[in-house]
Structure 1
Amino acid sequence: MDQPDSARSSGRRSALYRHRLVLIAAGLVLVAGLLAGIVAGAGDDTAPGAAPPPDTAPTPAPPATAPAAPTAKVCANAKALAGPATAPAGAITVATTQNLNELSKASPAGSTFWLQPGTHTLGTGPFSQVIPKEGNTYVGAPGAVLDGQRVNRYAFTGYVTGVTIKNLTIQNFGAPRTNNDEGVVNHNSATGWTIQSNTIRRNAGSAVMIGSRNLVRGNCLQDNGQYGFNAYNPDKVASIVIENNEIAGNNVDDWERLKPGCGCTGGGKFWEVTGAVVRGNWVHDNLSAGLWADTNNTGFSIEGNYIADNTAEGIIYETSYNASIRGNTFARNGLGKGPENRGFPTSALYISESGSDPRVPGQFNQTFEITGNLFTDNWAGVVLWENADRFAGSPANTSTGSGTLVNPATATVKTCNAGNIGKQPYLGDCRWKTQNVQVHGNTFSLDPTKLGKSCASNSGCGYNGLFSNWGTFPAWSPYKEKTVQDAITFDQSNRFYANTYRGPWNFVLYEQGNKVNWSTWQGAPYGQDRDSVIKVQGER
C-alpha cells in the first residue's frame, strides 16, 4: 500500500512474489528439471509454424449496470459447482484409492480424468502434487474432493499449457502460515489454463495462481491463507479473464501482521498484468483489500462486480495504467481499517499513482473512467492520490526495482537518478501519475448511523479525495514542496462531475489532511462536482 507514512521506511516490492521451483518428494527433485523432457516433446505454446497467440486484452462486454445484489453466489450453490455424475466419454476414471499424479504420468497428453465422489489424496510428502501434461483435463463428480491433508503444499503444478480443472473441491493444501506468495492450483502460473466451477478453500497461500490467457470462472475461492488468486509470473501475465467467481474470506493468516508492510494480502492480487477482464464477481469479507492491482498493470476492464464488506479498500489500483471501472457496487468496505487510519481516508476505490497515458498501448489509454458505480455505506468513496516522494529510482518507491511504462528504454530505475532526474525526459517519465481520471455518473450514499459512532468527519469517514503530500524526500527530488499537489489537482486532467451524493459527504483536497466542505470542493479554483446532484439524508 502506498501511503506516505510507510513509504520511506519499507523499501519493499509490494508484490514481488517468489517464483519458487516446486520440489518432488522423492529426492526433492526440481520440477523444472523433471518437466524439461515434457516441454521439449510438447514444443512451444503454439503449433510449429503457427503465429504465437496475441497477448492483447480480451474484449470487454457492453457497459454493465451496478448490480443491486451479488450475482455470483457460488459457494453455497451445489448445482453450479457440481460436475458430471458419470465419466465423460473417453475419460480415465480415478477412484479414491488411486494416485492422481501417477495416473497423469502414465497417461498421454490431452487425457481427461474423472474423479469419483469421495476424498482423494496425493501421498504423505510435502511435495506430493499433480503435474499435468499438456492439454489435460481434470473434472470432478459431485462430491469429489482433492485434499492436501495439511501435508501436501501444492495441488496442480508445472509449466505446460492448456490444462483444465473443473468441478473439484480442492482444500487443505499447505500448513497454516506457509506458502507465502505461492499458490496451490496452477502453482507456476502456466499459460492457457481454465479453472472453472471449483471450490478452492482453506489452503495456505493463494488458492490460484494466474498466468497468461487464463480463464478463472465460476469458482468459490474461500478462506485461503493469503489470496483467493494471485496473477503474477516473472515473465509477465497478459490477457486474462476473471468472471462470476465468489472470492470471500481470504487472508485468514493475516500476512500484513506476519510481514508488516508487505502489501501482500487481499481477495485477489495483480502484478504487471497487461489486459484483464474482471467481471461479475462477488468479492466480499476478505480480511484486507478486495482486489489489488499493484505496479505496471494496464488495460483493465473492471465491471459488474459486487464488492462488499472487505475490511480494507474494495479495490486498489496502484502505480498502474489505463483502466475502466464501471457498473460495480461497493458496499460497506473499509470498516475495519478505516477507524484505525484516521489520517488517510480508507476508500472503497483507491487510485494511487495511476491513470491513463497514451504512450502505454492498449485499451483505455486516453481516459481512466470511473463511472456508473454505486457506493453505499463505505468508510470513504473514491480517493485519487499521488505520493510526491514516489518515483522510479527513489528510496520511497515501494515497487522496488520497477520503473514506469511510458518510456521504458530511457527512464529506468538506474537512469532515474540524482544526476538525471531534474531534466527531461526523466523529470516527466520517472513518475507514475494520477492523471486523466474522470469520476462521473456514480452514486455515493452514506448513512453514518449504519457505520457506528466511529464514523465521523474527524475520523476520515465519508470522504472523497483528490490530493497529494508535501514533497520532502529524497534530498535530490525535484518534486518537493507543492509540485505534485499542484499537478494532481490542476494540471493532470482529474475531474469529478455528474455524480449523485446522498448523505453528509466531505472532501480531502490538494494536500493530505486538508479537509474541505462542498463550497470549497466546488468553488474556484478547484471546480469539482459543479454539476453533481446533492441530496440530503433520506431524499430520493
Structure 2
Amino acid sequence: MLLAACTSAPQPGAETGDGPAGAVPAVCDHLEPGPRAAPAGAVTVDPTVDGALSELTMANPPGTTFWLAPGRHTLTTDLYGQVIPKDGNSYLGAPGAVLDGQGRNLFAFTQPAREVTIRYLTIQGFAAPHNQGVVNHDSGEDWVIEHNTIQRNDGAAMMAGARQRIVGNCLRDNGQYGINAYSEGNTITGLVVEGNEIVGNNTGDWERRRPGCGCTGGVKFWAVDGADVRRNWVHDNRGPGLWGDINNNDFLIENNLIEDNDGAAIVYEASYNAIIRGNTIRANNWVEGKDFAGRGDPFPVATIYVSESGGEPRLDARTDRIDITGNLLENNWSGITAWENADRFCNSPANPSGDCTALVPDAATCAQPAITRPPLYDDCRWKTQRLSVHDNRFVLDPTVVTCESLCTRMAVLANYGTYPEWSPYMGEVVGEAITFHQDNRWYDNSYSGPWTFLAHDTDRVLTHTAWQARPYGQDEGSTFVPGGG
C-alpha cells in the first residue's frame, strides 16, 4: 500500500510533493526561457509595432516560425484583434516577450489551423467571453502549447483540440478555467496535460454568479476520449481542480498534486473508464463542504466525486473500470462519493442539456415502452458501476479539518426516483443497484481518522464495522485507526 507524508510549500524553483505523485513542478515564475535570438529562418516580430504579429502571420506561408522579441506585443485596439495561424506555424517567445490583450482583444490565437506550436510566451489581458478560450479558441488539432505563462485573462486560458499537448505551462488566475477542453460537435482524442501548474483560476466566481452552471475550476473536460493528465500541480482554484463532465472516456489521472481547491479535487461525471492513481490530494473541498454543511444539506460532497460514471467494457479504453488506486487523500473535506441520480437519464427533464449516453445515439428512443427493458433500460442512464477503490490512504486529522462528522464521509448512494411519471427508475431502484448490484467495491485501503460511511442513501450512516459487514461487504482487507495516528 502506498503511503505519503505532507510536505511544506515549495521553495522558488523547487518541485513539490513527496507522496504517491512524487515531485511535481512548481512552474509559475520558474519557466524555462525561450531563445535569446531568432532561430535560423524565423521571422522576427517587433514589439514596438502594434499588430505586427497578426500582419506577419498573414503575410507568411504555412510552416513559418515567428520569434517574438523581448517586450510587450499588442494586437491593435480592435475587439477582434487576433492571430490566425496557418498550418504548422510556430510562435516562440524570447525572454520577456509578452502578448497582451490590453483588456480589449477577445482572443489571442484563433481558427482551426493544424500543428501549431506556441512556446515561451506570456499571454495575458485578453477578454474572452464566458465558456470561450484565449489560446486555440477554435480547438485546432495537434497543437503544442508548452512552457508558457497564460494568466489574468477572462474566460479560459485555452481551449483544446484533438491530440493537443499542454506541457509545462503556468495557467494562472484566469477568469473561468485554466483549460476548457471542449470542441463543439467533436470528440477530442489523444489529449495530454502534463507538468503544468494550474492555479488560482475562476477569478470570476462563476458558480456563484450562475448557480448550477457547472462551469468552474482548474480544468474542465467535455467529450474527451483518451486523456493523460500527469504530474500537474493543481491548486488554489475556485471550484474543482479537475472536472470531467459528460461522455468522457479513457482517462489516466496520474501522479498529480491536487491541493487547496475550493471544491472537489477530481469530479468525474456522466463519463466512462478512468484510472486515477498515484495522486497526492490534500486540503481540498473545504469551501464547498462548509457551504453544504452551513445550509443543512446532508449530501456527502466529496474530494473525489464519481457522479453517474462507471466502467463500460463496450467502449475502447485502457481499463473497463473506474479504478482509484494508490492515492493519498489527506485532510480534505470527506473522501470519495459514488453517486447516481435516479432522475437523470436520456430524455428526462432532470437532464436538460439534452445529451445522451455514449451508448444511445438518439435520446428520443429513451421513452416508453422501450426504456423499460434491456438494452435501453441500462443504456439510457449514466451508471455508476464497476468502481474499484483500493490501496489508497485516507487521512483525516479532526484538529485540522473541523466539523461535526460531515467532513469524514465515504459514500455510495442514490436518491429516491421521483420523476418523470413514466420513469422506470422510480423509488429505490437505483439506490439498490448502485449499492449492491453494480460492482462498486472498496478494498485494501488504509484509514486514519474518524471516518464514517454512507450507503444506499443519506439516511444510512455506518461505522466502519457496519460498512464491512453484510449486506454491504465493503473494504475487505482494509485497516482503520479511528483516532488517527
Q: Which band: TM-score by shorter chain?
A: over 0.9
Between the two structures, name the one with larger relative contact order (CA 8 Å, sep ≥ 6): 1
Query: What is aligned with 2:449?
Result: 503
Deviations 1:459-511 (A, max 9, x none): x2111111111111111111111101111111111000000001110111111
Instruction: Please give the alpha-carbon distance, in whole angstroms, between the structure 1 residues aligned to 2:376 and 2:154.
Output: 42
* Contact 1:191–1:214 under 8 Å retained in 2: yes
Secondary structure of the corresponding residue to residue 192 of structure 2: strand
Match among 79, 86, 91 for residue 133 of structure 1: 86
Question: Within 5 A, what are the aligned runs for 1:118-267?
Answer: 118-174=71-127, 179-234=129-184, 235-267=186-218
**CA positional deviation for 1:65:** 6.7
- The normalised TM-score by structure 2 is 0.93
Query: What is aligned with 2:5?
Result: none
* Contact 1:448–1:456 under 8 Å retained in 2: no
Letter in 2 for 1:368: I
Instruction: Please give the alpha-carbon distance, in whole angstroms, between the structure 2 residues aligned to 1:266 and 1:312.
Output: 8
Match among 281, 304, 324 for residue 349 of structure 1: 304
Letter in 2 for 1:533: T
**CA positional deviation for 1:346:** 2.1
- 1:339 aligned to 2:285? no
Letter in 2 for 1:475: E
* Contact 1:65–1:372 under 8 Å retained in 2: no
Query: What is aligned with 1:312?
Result: 263
Query: What is aligned with 2:462?
Result: 516
Match among 239, 245, 250 for residue 299 of structure 1: 250
- 1:111 aligned to 2:64? yes
Query: What is aligned with 1:32?
Result: none
Deviations 1:201-245 (A, max 9, x none): 000000010000100000000000000001111222111100000
Query: What is aligned with 1:21?
Result: none
**CA positional deviation for 1:535:** 1.9
**CA positional deviation for 1:536:** 4.1
Deviations 1:105-144 (A, max 9, x none): 0111101111111111010101000001110000101111
Query: What is aligned with 1:289?
Result: 240
Query: What is aligned with 2:12?
Result: none
* Contact 1:344–1:513 under 8 Å retained in 2: no
Query: What is aligned with 2:358?
Result: 405
- 1:468 aligned to 2:414? yes
Instruction: Please give the alpha-carbon distance, in whole angstroms, between the structure 2 residues aligned to 1:205 and 1:450.
Output: 34
Deviations 1:130-168 (A, max 9, x none): 001110000101111000000101000011100000000
Secondary structure of the corresponding residue to residue 81 of structure 1: coil
Instruction: Please give the alpha-carbon distance, in whole angstroms, between the structure 2 residues aligned to 1:259 and 1:370.
Output: 31
Secondary structure of the corresponding residue to residue 431 of structure 2: helix
Deviations 1:63-98 (A, max 9, x none): x97126x61200031xx3311111111111111123
Change (3 A) 1:148 1:481: same
Secondary structure of the corresponding residue to residue 346 of structure 2: coil
Instruction: Please give the alpha-carbon distance, in whole angstroms, between the structure 2 residues aligned to 1:325 and 1:538.
Output: 25
Instruction: Please give the alpha-carbon distance, in whole angstroms, between the structure 1 residues aligned to 2:250 and 2:476.
Output: 30
Instruction: Please give the alpha-carbon distance, in whole angstroms, between the structure 2 residues aligned to 1:511 and 1:193.
Output: 45
- 1:358 aligned to 2:313? yes
Instruction: Please give the alpha-carbon distance, in whole angstroms, between the structure 2 residues aligned to 1:67 and 1:213.
Output: 24
Question: Within 5 A, what are the aligned runs for 1:318-397?
Answer: 318-342=269-293, 343-365=298-320, 367-397=321-351
Query: What is aligned with 2:4?
Result: none
The runs of 5 or more residues in structure 1 that have no matched partner are: 1-63
- 1:422 aligned to 2:372? yes
* Contact 1:227–1:267 under 8 Å retained in 2: yes
Percent of matched pairs sharing the same residue: 51
The runs of 5 or more residues in structure 2 that have no matched partner are: 1-17
* Contact 1:81–1:199 under 8 Å retained in 2: no
**CA positional deviation for 1:513:** 3.6
Secondary structure of the corresponding residue to residue 285 of structure 2: coil
Match among 380, 389, 403 for residue 439 of structure 1: 389
**CA positional deviation for 1:538:** 4.5
* Contact 2:101–2:126 under 8 Å retained in 1: yes
Deviations 1:298-355 (A, max 9, x none): 0101100000000011110000001100000110010001011132122110000111
* Contact 1:442–1:500 under 8 Å retained in 2: yes
> Once structures 1 and 2 are overlaid, which stretch shifts more, 286-295 or 90-99?
90-99
Question: Within 5 A, what are the aligned runs for 1:521-540?
Answer: 521-539=467-485
Instruction: Please give the alpha-carbon distance, in whole angstroms, between the structure 2 residues aligned to 1:423 and 1:528.
Output: 30
Matched positions, count:
461
* Contact 2:21–2:254 under 8 Å retained in 1: no
- CA-based RMSD of the aligned residues comes to 1.3
**CA positional deviation for 1:369:** 0.7
Deviations 1:164-196 (A, max 9, x none): 00000000001xxx6101000000011010000
